[in-house]
Every structure is written in structure tokens, then in C-alpha cells.
Amino acid sequence: MRLVLASTSPRRLDLLTRIGAAPDRVAAPDVDEIPRPAEVPRTYVQRIAADKCRAVSRAEDEIVLAGDTSIAVGRRILGKPQDEADLRRMLALLSGRRHHCLSAVSVIGLDGKLRSRISDTVVAFKRLTPAEIDWYVASGEGMGKAGGYAIQGKAEAFVRFLSGSHSGVVGLPVFETRALLESAGYPLG
């Protein structure tokens, strides 16, 4: 039995290997990540994780795992910032308020069945000053990250409250991932 990670995220790879599930193969899924009209954040993140899982070819002896993480402020989905102005907008929106970090994981087992779970973590940022936003934008860390921040980096200093899965905010909820792999019959230590 072989494991395929349908993601090129180094964070997902690291989190997966931490639970004893080093993938045999890594594949980049080609998926349109644009939200559908009126799509709510929870439905969106689950759909994208499942689509990524299905987008990767799978041999009979392979289990495919994919994940997706999005930040939700109310019904608004904050994806990856397109540029520094977009990053500033996201940080200003997150400043001083709670938001949800939704991290979905999907697995296609040897039986061809898709299994999915979702982690919903509530995160609250302190009120950010313009200087803090400038500092974080200048660091470059928020580019390419859902919601424009990396909790495992400099942005951790902005978090005043977290309830849920820290690894889910990083990009792969390890509790849910482990449970899915076990249900698909993947051997873990």
C-alpha cells in the first residue's frame, strides 16, 4: 500500500510525516480554486480538498490524500493574497477580530471511496497597528498563505486566542488526517 500526497505544500508534507505517514509520491493537483457563487466557506473548503484528491491519478495500490485550508470571516472566504495590497486588506479585516480557519482533508482509499473530514479552528488576532501590518507585509511571509498569514511564523505574535487545531491552521489537521488514514486502512504506528 502506497500513499500519495496530492499537494506540493511543504507544511502539509511535514505534518504528514510527523504522524508516521511519509508519502511514497507527491503530486500537484490541478484544481480551479475559485469559489462558486454563494458558496459558503465550509462547503468550499470541503469541495476543494475532495477535488484535489480526485485530480491526482491513483494506482490500485495507492491511497491519495489532499487538504485545503481557508480563512473565513463571516461568509467571506479569504484565499491567498494576490499582491501586497490584497494582503494589507486581509490583515486589516482580520485585525482585532475572530475568524474561522477551516481545514479540510480528503482521502481516497484502496476501495476507491472518498472520505473527508474538516477542522474548524477559531482564531482571534489582536488589533494590528499600521506599523505591524507594514512589518508583516514586508516580511513576505503572508504571500501564498490562506488568509495572508502563517501561524507557524511571525504572525503567531498576532494571535490572542485560538480554539481548535493548531496544525489545521498550519495546513493539515493531524487528528482528522490520522483518523481518515486509519479508516482507509493505512498502517500507522
Is residue 83 annotated as a catalytic residue, yes or no? no
Please tell me the distance from the alpha carbon of residue 68 to that of residue 45, in angstroms, as a whole number: 6
The residue annotated as part of the active site, out of 32, 68, 86, 134, is: 68
Q: b/e string for 101-121 if b means 16 or more Cβ within 10 A?
A: bbbbbbbbbbeeebbbbbbbb
Residue found by looking up cell 479508516 in the block: 183
For residue 47, what are the CA distances in angstroms to 8, 74, 152, 187? 18, 18, 25, 26
Catalytic residues: 68
